[in-house]
Chains A and B, each alone.
Chain A
Amino acid sequence: MLTVSVKWQKKVFEGIEIDVTLPPYVFKAQLYDLTGVPPERQKIMVKGGLLKDDADWSAIGVKDGQKLMMMGTADEIVKAPEKAIVFAEDLPEEEQATNLGYSAGLVNLGNTCYMNSTVQCLKSVPELKSALSNYSLAGRSNDVDQTSHMLTVATRELFGDLDRSVNAVSPTQFWMTLRKKFPQFSQLQNGMHMQQDAEECWTQLLYTLSQSLKAPASSEDSDAVKALFGVNLRSRVHCQESGEESSETESVYSLKCHISHEVNHLHEGLKHGLKGELEKTSPALGRTAVYLKESLIDSLPRYLTVQFVRFFWKRETNQKAKILRKVDYPLELDIFDLCSEDLRKKLEAPRQKLRDEEGKKLGLQPKSSSKDSDVKMTDAAEAPSNEGGESSTAAQQEGASSSSEKGTHMTGIYDLVTVLTHKGRSADSGHYVAWVKQESGKWIQYDDSHPSIQREEDITKLSGGGDWHMAYIIMYKARFVSM
């Protein structure tokens, strides 16, 4: 009979007797009583290894009073989860792309950064993407020519490729159709394709899309592009000399931000751009007179595009020169005071509501969370995106009807979503880059084939006043409020 002490975890069991005539299994059973560890899971360290169930005590050489150590638990044995975990590395390439949270870049095919950045900016409009995906050959109206059709299809394919791929996409097909449709982009210089003005590319592309996406039969989404980007202006043309006054309406795809010496901020530039002088024959005076044209916004688009008029034709040098002046633009734009009286009235109620909501949020939780819900709100507004006013009157009607149907309203407040910048001294040279805000709120800089993450505060630094990238075309997304 031996007496030993056994150490188990942090406890020590003193004075355990071993009957050396019985196999160690009996000893283990003793320990089972003390510790609750089943004998098969007990590991008892003795000289030369673990104590075996059928070992001979005399051979082991355990001495009286010796301290033994036991390891073992009654814990449940770990089991693999029933549902196997899927690892990102095992996913097919397409699914890995979504993991990154943003889409791929575009390969520069030789001075095509103007095109790449335009495509990246437009691609960030989900409504346009869905409109394109609905586009099909069958739905093509007869008045769309072949090249426009091809360009539309090429755009759709390119958007699709960008979403699917991890690595940079080469937009060869798109480029060819673009050049076919607009031969001016094929200009060569020293055997190379020339750098082009991104604004021209933007306008032309959008125009083509608007033509081809115009559904002939269905009245609802008759002009998807116009519904998304179109701004209706109501202008008052006034001749000071004769006192004549007339009003006219027009629809544009972008507002111009004129840059003069007084303009330091986007808002001032826009105001400036909405006022203009023109010379025309005055019926009253019988000669040409200077008319003052003042425009106001009559209906708001879902996406408001603003072009900084940075380039002007310089006769002396025979090229498009660039105004480097710094013009600040906000991340959040309020264009209430550029709106017409009618529109202002309509906006008042939603704006009040928005203010209330924001106030509430501020009172309750910090601002960051309010941003999230904004995103949700606009997401909710995406569903009816294909609709929208085709003309100012239609917008008004719809505004009245949609309040009951969808319960979302324009507020006149816009959030910055894309910035197309130019770096360099003239429009036909330098480098274009697109900066796009993702749904997650991250900003991505698409520098041709290299997308990279940027900070929001760096986006506002693209306002010019140096040789850094400066905003050329920026796009805002309307903020909606549900009533």
Chain B
Amino acid sequence: MAPGPDPNSVGDGAKRDEATTKVPSKDPKKKDDKKEEDLSEEDLQLKQNLELYVERVQDPNPELQKAALESMRQEIRASTSSMTSVPKPLKFLRPHYGTLKEFHKNMAESDLKKLLADILSVLALTMSAEGERESLGYRLTGSEGDIGSWGHEYVRNLAGEIAEEYTVRQGEESSIEDLMDLVQQIVAFHMKHNAETEAVDLLMDVEDLDLLLEHVDRTNFRRTCNYLTSAAKYLPGPDDMLVLDIAYMIYIKFEEYPNALQIALFLDNMQYVKQVFTSCTDLLRKKQFCYMISRHGITFELDPEMVENDVDREMLQDIVNNTKLSEGYLTLARDIEVMEAKTPEDIYKAHLLDGRASSGPSADSARQNLAATFVNAFVNAGFGQDKLMTVPSDSTSGSAGNWLFKNKEHGKTSAAASLGMILLWDVDAGLTHLDKYFHTNDNPIIAGALLGVGIVNCGIKNDCDPALALLGEYIDKEDSSVRIGAIMGLGIAYAGSQNDQIKSSLSPILNDAKAPLDVIAFAALSLGMIYVGSCNEEVAQSIIFALMDRSEAELGEALTRFLPLGLGLLYLGKQESVEATAEVSKTFNEKIRKYCDMTLLSCAYAGTGNVLKVQDLLAQCGEHLEKGDNHQGPAVLGLAMVAMSEELGLDMAIRSLERVLQYGEQNVRRAVPLALGLLCISNPKVTVMDTLSRLSHDTDSEVAMSAIISLGLIGAGTNNARIAGMLRNLSSYYYKDASLLFCVRIAQGLVHMGKGLLTLSPFHSERLLLSPTALAGIVTLLHACLDMKSIILGKYHYVLYFLVLAMQPRMMLTVDENLKPISVPVRVGQAVDVVGQAGRPKTITGFQTHSTPVLLAAGERAELATDKYIPLSPILEGFIILKENPDYREE
């Protein structure tokens, strides 16, 4: 017998010479005979060789053993490089696994034993029983050679077994050092071979993500981080934070600051934000960071540490303060040529309906005029001109005043405040226009002017604090409508600012025994907005006391719901931090206890996608209760709030809501359209649209009303023709029912909001970030909609203006290094999820090329179509600073 392996059997099986060996041994059983007939000659040869090696391995002669092991190893290695089916050598060695295992057990400690362990480890890949982790076991006793030499599949399998082993050992609290060595190897291997996702998975399993930092390099950090951030959405806390922390560190390490900033904002970690500023030295890039922060809508003070130069800092602070937002928005409007003001009639398009509208009613309907006021405000939001409120007043009676007085009593509040909406973000012009309304003696008008000041300043910060200076004086006036105007104005203007001065002036109202309920409700709400997501103890205490002080009768009022909501907003998205307060809420009067509980829970977990909370809330919705309980409404809304953060959860929530609709009680059904509206806000999904369209004809008028409002919400700022058509038909269907018609009008206004340039979506930066103030605004409106009749159709219709907090231009505006708008070609298309995909897949599909500024619809993404410029942020949304590409050559 030849001492070494047959040279022809080694290596490429395909090119094996056919005439080399005549197979001598033909002793297999009959059963095998049949099988062998199916085998090609090459395979037969291979099989026999392997059988020979197996035999020889058991030979007492170490030389022979070694040679056999070597050849076996080569045979296996040669075939495991690709893995589409079980490799032949492994297949043929299957029957011998047991024999080899047995032999290995009895072998003396030697290099050969290790060699055999290596081979057994590979064989265990297909052979070992589930849960035995033999592959890993043999690997650990093996020769610890290059792990990749056995092919990807082996490494992948090993990684899986390590994860299992790790959990077992964690349970036993035994050492994991040997495992970690292996992990090191595997991670290094994966990271080198474009398998970042697997590396990350393994490290997450063994809870040692820090290792990643050593292994990422310039070529793979993007894909790694991309995977980390998307995986974070599906991890339970606190792991998600940990994962994002790592992503942040990687981004910082590779100076990918915009992404790092994004994550810092996601984590709501101001320390990290600051670090981004201090690590980056380029002023231009810092400007881009400021734009990103301003879009997120948080209050942020730059300090000398972040930007040294005073002049620069002032300029950057201006960007953070959003002072240029109005200018940018108007640039977009001019470019798209929609500056021409629109009247409500342009929106209603009654001429497309038959007959009726051609001869309008002879007398003004206050309800319809109020609707027109809102439509006018939403449609012309931010444009600075309209045809009802800002038309130049002629000397005779002041025609601007005319429309104002076509609204009745509290309607005038909304009319005056609509001026704030029309001049949104343009503080100077806005205050000028509103000034004259301060000097009347008509209280609703003054209230409206105050609210208008708040709206104009929404999202804009100013050193002089004009809103606080103007509104502060009116907080303690006699008239409660004026007080509400000022309080709500402050809430909108300073949402998220955590301004102490306002707190000290609003908190006393909450515990003032003489204050009327509506003033208290709005004060609680405004405080909630100003301290949104801050978990501020003091404010929480004040609201809790206010809630405890309410009498039984007051707790039954519709507006009381704003108290728990204000409390909830304090903990918006803060998860466990709410627990102490939730505990306190259990001591409340039972009339409000559950409502409060649901509101707190839904706010605290808003945007987290926490599945357990979704289940909790679903369980609440499924209960069939006696009359009088009203906590299911917020539970349904909460379902949407928790699930809205990522696509999968969102789709699931939509499906669950369909069920709830079918089996739920009436008060649950009323909230379902609103929840759908929140889930698809400014994102008109056809299925949801159809559901809402169906519900808009529901026999229960409250279901119909919320469905109509929701149709407006899902189409907000999209000019969606289909929704517009539906609403038009609804307007003729409900022409006799003033309340429903009012809702239809509001929805029409929402659909054409900002003539289609705005979005209400609280998500931005490729749906990663959730602007807390925006969410607060929407949620407040939705809670108000839970009792449509007494709030929006009553005299508190101005709560509709809370939507202003979520209004943002859905634009991409490119600016040059001097922040002047420039036009460049960009491709805009449907965003494609490329997480964990191999190679460099296209990130958008079905794109069209436009020149900036452009509008981005929900789910769309833009990319530059020119190499002439380099964008300073990889997320092309909002304001983008472009830098000239030094390597660019004109062709």
Contacts and interface: CB of A to CB of B under 8 A. Distances in A.
A71 B434 CA distance: 10
A95 B397 CA distance: 29
B361 A99 contact: yes
B428 A45 contact: no
Given A43-B469, A440-B355, A68 B429 contact: no
Contacts of B432: 9, 71, 73
Contact of B435 (A45, A71, A453, A456): A71
Interface residues of A, number: 43
Contacts of A72: 435
Given A43-B470, A86-B363, A75 B355 contact: no
Given A71-B432, A73-B436, A79 B401 contact: yes
B309 interface: no
B848 interface: no
B363 A91 contact: yes
A246 B398 CA distance: 79
Nearest to B442: A80
B473 A73 contact: no
Nearest to A84: B405
A454 to B, nearest CB: 7
Interface string A46-63: 101110000000000000
B398 A79 contact: yes
B358 A89 contact: no
Contacts of A71: 431-432, 435, 466, 470
Nearest to A40: B439
A95 B432 CA distance: 41
B27 interface: no
B470 A87 contact: no
Nearest to A42: B435
B431 to A, nearest CB: 5
B866 interface: no
B400 A45 contact: no
Contacts of B355: 440-443, 453, 455-456
Contact of B362 (A41, A45, A98): A98
Nearest to B453: A71
A349 interface: no
A81 interface: yes
A80 B362 CA distance: 21
Contacts of B462: 69
B408 interface: yes
Given A41-B435, A81-B401, A85-B406, A76 B393 contact: yes
A90 B411 CA distance: 15
Interface string B419-462: 00000000011011001110110100100000000000000001
A50 B436 contact: no
A88 B402 contact: no
B23 interface: no
B435 A80 contact: no
Contacts of A89: 365-367, 408, 738
Contacts of B736: 100
B361 A73 contact: no
A78, A91, A95 interface centre (most CB from chain B within 10 Å): A78
Interface string A85-117: 111111100010011110000000000000000
Contact of A88 (B363, B435, B442, B732): B363
Contacts of B397: 79, 81
A68 to B, nearest CB: 7
A45, A48, A68 interface centre (most CB from chain B within 10 Å): A45
B354 A453 contact: yes
B872 interface: no
A91 B362 CA distance: 11
A87 B363 contact: yes
Contacts of B358: 440-442
Contacts, number: 127
A67 B314 CA distance: 13
A48 B466 CA distance: 10
B335 to A, nearest CB: 22
B619 interface: no
B398 A78 contact: yes
A326 B654 CA distance: 48
A81 B366 CA distance: 16
Given A76-B398, A79-B401, A101 B435 contact: no
A50 B469 contact: yes
Contacts of A99: 361-363
Contact of B436 (A76, A87, A440, A456): A76
Interface residues of B, number: 50
B356 interface: yes
A431 B3 CA distance: 105
A78 B393 CA distance: 9
A143 B463 CA distance: 94
Nearest to A87: B366
B472 interface: yes
Given A79-B401, A80-B442, A45 B436 contact: no
A49 B361 contact: no
Contacts of A46: 464, 469
Contact of B428 (A9, A85, A453): A9
Interface in A337-363: none
A10 B393 contact: no
B478 interface: no
Contacts of A77: 436, 439-440
A323 B502 CA distance: 80
B436 A455 contact: no
Interface string B833-854: 0000000000000000000000
A50 B367 CA distance: 37
B364 interface: yes
A76 B393 CA distance: 9
Interface in B326-355: 354-355
Contact of B359 (A43, A76, A95, A440): A440
A67 B472 CA distance: 21
B10 interface: no
Contacts of A95: 363
Interface in A413-443: 440-443
Nearest to B736: A100
A69 B427 CA distance: 11
Contacts of B408: 87, 89
Contacts of A7: 428, 464
B405 A81 contact: yes
Contacts of B428: 7, 9-10
Contact of B361 (A45, A80, A88, A456): A88
A81 B364 CA distance: 15
B404 interface: yes
A89 to B, nearest CB: 5
Interface string A427-471: 000000000000011110000000001111000000000000000
A85 B465 contact: no
Contacts of B368: 88
A69 B464 contact: yes
A73 B435 contact: yes
Contacts of A67: 463-464
B689 to A, nearest CB: 25
Contact of A78 (B401, B429, B431): B401
Nearest to B361: A99
B661 interface: no
B348 to A, nearest CB: 15
A10, A68, A76, A454 interface centre (most CB from chain B within 10 Å): A76
20 contacts: A7-B428, A9-B428, A10-B428, A45-B470, A46-B464, A48-B501, A75-B393, A75-B436, A76-B393, A76-B436, A78-B393, A78-B440, A87-B363, A88-B365, A88-B366, A90-B366, A95-B363, A101-B356, A440-B359, A442-B358
Given A9-B429, A50-B473, A440-B359, 11 more contacts: A10-B428, A49-B473, A71-B470, A81-B397, A81-B401, A86-B364, A89-B366, A89-B408, A99-B361, A442-B359, A456-B354
Per CB-CB distance, the 9 closest pairs between chain A and chain B, nearest first, are: A442-B355, A69-B464, A88-B365, A78-B401, A87-B366, A455-B354, A99-B361, A45-B464, A45-B469
